[in-house]
């Protein structure tokens, strides 16, 4: 494995360990508490992985992997509990069915675990709840690694913003003038125009 990318045959837990290490190092560099970036509840909601499993995986302990059907039902239940309508209520089976382009009976059977989901069902439900592809089906270590990679991107953006602020001379009158009048933004937009 190089650069955080899996090679053929790489184990997801290896990738997870690498992401955990990178996120921890970034958090230390930014003085962000580990309790914040490794918050089990937040990571569970972001990944769909049960909190107990998130805690075990973060601790480097092996967990039993649920089969695809069980994982789908658990994560769909989590979506229904955490992704609520604007009025704070759960989506009904009919609303999920309408939003995902299936019958209410199909949605009910999927929610109750009476029917195996197809990839089309998974895709439609993921789009309805506005979660990333694979949310309902990814194995637990892979799902947690994905959630942590999104955290890593946020931390990298914070670091870049901090370094940019530190590098910009605050008392340079020319720099202040350029910023005040948006000259850099105008020049960048002008460079994007077709010639």
- What does R_g of the chain's alpha carbons equal in angstroms? 22
Which domains, ranges and CATH numbers included, belong to the chain?
1-65+139-195 (no CATH), 68-129 (1.10.260.40)
pLDDT at position 169 is 60
pLDDT at position 2 is 41
Which tens digits make up the pLDDT trace of 178-193?
676 776 667 666 776 7
pLDDT at position 6 is 44
Query: 22: closest CA among 30, 49, 8, 63?
Result: 30
pLDDT at position 40 is 96
CA 174 to chain CA centroid, Å, is: 40
Low-confidence ranges of the chain (pLDDT < 50): 1-10
pLDDT at position 157 is 93
Distance separating alpha carbons of residues 113 and 17, to the nearest angstrom: 32
Helix, strand, coil proportions of the chain in percent (round to 5)?
Answer: 65, 0, 35
């Amino acid at each position: 494995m190089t650069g955080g990318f899996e090679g053929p045959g790489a184990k997801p837990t290896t990738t997870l360990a690498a992401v955990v290490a990178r996120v921890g190092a970034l958090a230390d560099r930014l003085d962000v508490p580990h309790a914040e970036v490794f918050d089990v509840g937040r990571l569970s909601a972001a990944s769909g992985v049960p909190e107990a499993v998130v805690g075990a995986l973060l601790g480097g302990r092996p967990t039993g992997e649920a089969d695809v059907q069980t994982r789908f039902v658990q994560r769909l239940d989590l979506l229904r509990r955490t992704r609520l309508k604007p009025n704070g209520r759960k989506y009904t089976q009919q609303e999920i069915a309408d939003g995902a382009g299936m019958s209410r009976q199909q949605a009910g059977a999927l929610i109750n675990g009476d029917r195996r989901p197809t990839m089309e069902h998974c895709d439609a439900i993921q789009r309805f709840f506005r979660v990333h592809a694979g949310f309902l089906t990814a194995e637990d270590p892979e799902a947690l690694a994905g959630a942590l990679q999104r955290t890593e991107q946020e931390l990298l953006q914070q670091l870049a913003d901090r370094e940019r602020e530190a590098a910009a001379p605050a008392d340079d009158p020319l720099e202040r003038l350029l910023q005040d009048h948006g000259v850099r933004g105008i020049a960048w937009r002008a460079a994007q125009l077709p010639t």
